[in-house]
Amino acid sequence: MPEATTDRDPVYRDTGNLIPRNRAAHPVPYDPDYKTSVTRSPNLPLLSMDSTLTEETGPVFGHTLLGPLDNNLILNFSQGRAPAVGERIRVHGRVMDEHGRGLPNTLVEVWQANAGGRYRHVKDTYFAPLDPNFGGCGRCLTDAHGNYEFMTIRPGAYPWPNRGNEWRPMHIHFSLFGHSFGQRLITQMYFEGDPLIDRCPIAATVKSRSQLDRLVAPLDMHGSRPMDYLAWKFDIVLRGRRQTLFENRMEGL
């Protein structure tokens, strides 16, 4: 069991062998409808190996590395001088391991397009205007129970050069560092009810509908604030430790 923690100084360090990845739950690496996957997909079968000490330890992030507005994308780019333009939203949830235990002190980073569907990036040539008060990046550490939250602007959909008239659904990119390098995760969060999800070749690389639905954040009216913002709840599961013995082979604590 994890040790006792406080909100300011979590000491949870659950190191040890990680549960092997479930490859069946991952998007397919090669999908001709997502044209860049054709050149980027591996040519040889993937190898599955036990986790090593390097994957099972570190890194550690401290609260002193984060600024007071780092998780508020509405204000952090302008340092509070002016708010970003768009629909204010709250994105929140819980980061857990595969046994449902909250993961405190986990670094959660996000990046996204602005309300018009444009990223603040030199290679984004979409003609939607840039918001001078929106940078599109944020970060936070989970609390003692694995909870996180961001205030941001709902991102816009945008076109991309794949096949004809293709549009990406509204989405937010997530990057997480759990309590070991083996718990590194990069993923995307979609919004409940967005009709573009079912038309997106990138989302379609997730062949299991139940797995794709796990990337869709439901609207959370209980976490919303009247006359202010709507909320979406996005829980994230990282790899945990093996918990049981199997025949004569150690696979757990």
**Catalytic residue status for 158:** yes
Q: Which two tokens stand for residue 153?
A: 């602007």
168 assigned to active site: yes
Helix (H, G, I), strand (E, B) or coil at 65: helix
In the 8-state DSSP scheme, what is residue 189?
E
Of 70, 221, 208, 74, nearest to 148 by C-alpha is 70
> How large a percentage of the chain has pLDDT more than 70?
84
- Please, how many CA atoms are within 13 Å of residue 4, restricted to the half-sphere of its CB? 0
13-17, 52-56, 57-61, 122-126: which has the minimum mean pLDDT?
13-17
Q: Which of 88, 101, 145, 173 is catalytic?
A: 173
Q: Residues 160-185: what's their mean pLDDT? A: 90
Catalytic choice (12, 34, 119, 190): 119
- In this prediction, residue 14 carries a pLDDT of 52
What confidence score (pLDDT) does residue 57 get?
A: 72
Which of these is catalytic: 139, 154, 171, 241?
Answer: 171
Q: Where are the alpha helices (DSSP H) in the chain?
A: 36-40, 53-56, 209-213
- pLDDT of 48 reads 72
Q: Provide mean pLDDT across the span 141-167.
A: 95
pLDDT recorded at residue 63 = 64
Asked if 222 is an active-site residue, the reply is no
Residue 249 scores a pLDDT above 60: no
Phi, psi of 181 (to 5 degrees): -65, -25
User: In DSSP terms, which residues pair with 174 in a beta bridge?
Assistant: 110, 187
Single out the catalytic residue among 118, 168, 241, 242: 168
pLDDT at 230: 98
Compute the average pLDDT of residues 231-251: 66
121 as an active site residue: the answer is no
What is the mean predicted confidence (pLDDT) over 37-56?
Answer: 80
DSSP string covering 211-228: HHHTTEEPB-GGGSBTTT
Whether the predicted pLDDT of 157 surpasses 80? yes
> Domain 23-237 maps to which CATH number in 3.30.70.270, 3.40.1280.10, 3.40.50.880, 2.60.130.10?
2.60.130.10
For residue range 222-231, what is the model confidence (pLDDT) as tens digits? 999 999 999 9
pLDDT at residue 8 tops 50: no
Select, from the ranges 37-46, 95-104, 190-199, the one with the highest average predicted confidence (pLDDT). 190-199
Instruction: Give catalytic status of residue 94 as yes or no.
Output: no
Half-sphere exposure in the Cβ direction for 101 (13 Å, CA): 18
